[in-house]
Amino acid sequence: MSNGFLSIEALAKRFPAQNGEGEPLTVFENVNFRIERGEFVCIVGHSGCGKSTIMNVLAGLDEATEGVVIMNGKEVKGPSLDRGVVFQNYSLLPWLSALRNVTFAVEARNRAWTKEQVRAHSYKYLELVGLTGGAEHRKPAQLSGGMRQRVSIARAFAIQPELLLLDEPFGALDALTRGTIQDELLKIWQGTDQTVFMITHDVDEAIYLADRVLLMTNGPYARVAESVEVGIPRPRARDEIVEHPNYYKVRNHLVHFLARRSKEMAGREHATPTGRPETVSFDDPEKERPAPPQAALYAITR
């Protein structure tokens, strides 16, 4: 079942010590995980553990100190249109209209297209996020936070990247707008075989959107400790998923991790030799209690 679409191997990021004195800062080390084509994966972890850094390495905007990222059998070196990025602060170009913010990206992707093709394609995606009817001609500063985020999502999807990287895309939005845009995101994603890797701080958002949630321990020496399978079938209805037997199991697991174990498992000394995250799945009663070393930790937190 593994198609080995994206593989992150022994990734580490270290920053040299301030003024050349003291220890260098190791943000994370020995980070290993895989993502299959078409998967929707969320990553959660406390602030400063290195999520954005990992994402920037995946995007090719930043370089890891050690380790490699392999996508489609090729090492990731530098940015590429195959990987679309939605930054936390939207990163729209403020001097261009919403429409131009999308069309320049579509032009970059499809250099042979005519103006009409570019326009039609851009409109298609702006429509998907409900941003037509005049709003597309406004500058980002004249749009609300939610509208700006929609433009940047439309832009990222319009270039049809194989991998979509989202860094806390809904962090700044109110709950209502957030819900609407989450649904729009799912709607676009489900119609494609695109893969999504998303950073979030919101446990409910992760469960609603993701196939799998990666859990990062606190830094320094952070690592991806667990990979939790959500196991709730799609399409998911917001009001129905809470009825699913997995929902509260997964939710409790994530909340416990963030509240206690992300700290308890932090540090080099708790790292497993392989560096692979422990798979946690609630579908199979056999697996409900993870492997023995983890069980000991459970005893502490439950």
Interface positions with ligand ATP (CB under 6 A):
15, 25, 27, 47-53, 219
Task: Tally the residues of the chain.
Answer: 302
| 15 interface partner picked from Mg ion, ligand ATP, another protein, none, CB below 5 to 8 A per type | ligand ATP
* DSSP labels, 92-122: --TTS-HHHHHHHHHHHH-TT--HHHHHHHH
Please state the closest distance from residue 208 (CB atom) to ligand ATP, in A. Answer: 19
Does 72 sit near Mg ion (CB under 5 A)?
Answer: no
Please state the closest distance from residue 46 (CB atom) to ligand ATP, in A. Answer: 7
- Residue 7 or 52: the one with the smaller Cβ distance to Mg ion is 52
Please state the closest distance from residue 51 (CB atom) to ligand ATP, in A. Answer: 4
- Residue 188 or 224: the one with the smaller Cβ distance to ligand ATP is 224
- Residue 92 or 265: the one with the smaller Cβ distance to another protein is 92
Identify which of 152, 157, 234 has the alpha carbon closest to the alpha carbon of residue 193: 157
Alpha carbon distance 204, 74 (integer Å): 34
- Residue 111 or 302: the one with the smaller Cβ distance to another protein is 111
Pair of tokens at residue 31: 């980070």
Binding site for another protein (CB under 8 A): 59-61, 78-81, 83-85, 87, 89, 91, 93-96, 104-105, 108-109, 139-142, 159
Please state the closest distance from residue 63 (CB atom) to Mg ion, in A. Answer: 17
> Which residues on adjacent β-strands are paired with residue 221?
none
Q: From residue 251, how far is each of 95, 205, 243, 271 by CA, in Å?
A: 42, 10, 12, 24
102-118 burial, b for 16+ CB within 10 Å, e for fewer? bbebbbebbeeeeeeeb
Q: Which residue has the tokens 């250099």?
A: 111
- Residue 122 or 152: the one with the smaller Cβ distance to ligand ATP is 152
Q: What is the number of helices (H) and of strands (E) in the chain?
A: 10, 11
Please state the closest distance from residue 163 (CB atom) to ligand ATP, in A. Answer: 18
Please state the closest distance from residue 218 (CB atom) to ligand ATP, in A. Answer: 10
- Residue 79 or 245: the one with the smaller Cβ distance to another protein is 79
Does 52 sit near Mg ion (CB under 5 A)?
Answer: yes
Q: What are the φ/ψ torsions at residue 49 (nearest 5 degrees)?
A: -80, -15
| 53 interface partner picked from ligand ATP, Mg ion, another protein, none, CB below 5 to 8 A per type | ligand ATP
| 83 interface partner picked from Mg ion, another protein, ligand ATP, none, CB below 5 to 8 A per type | another protein
Q: What H or E segment, with its residue span, contains residue 29? A: strand 25-35
Which 3 state secondary structure label does DSSP give 2? coil
Does 180 sit near Mg ion (CB under 5 A)?
Answer: no
Strand order in the sheet with 224-229: 83-86, 163-167, 195-199, 40-44, 212-216, 224-229, 278-281
Q: State the residues that interact with Mg ion by CB under 5 A.
A: 52
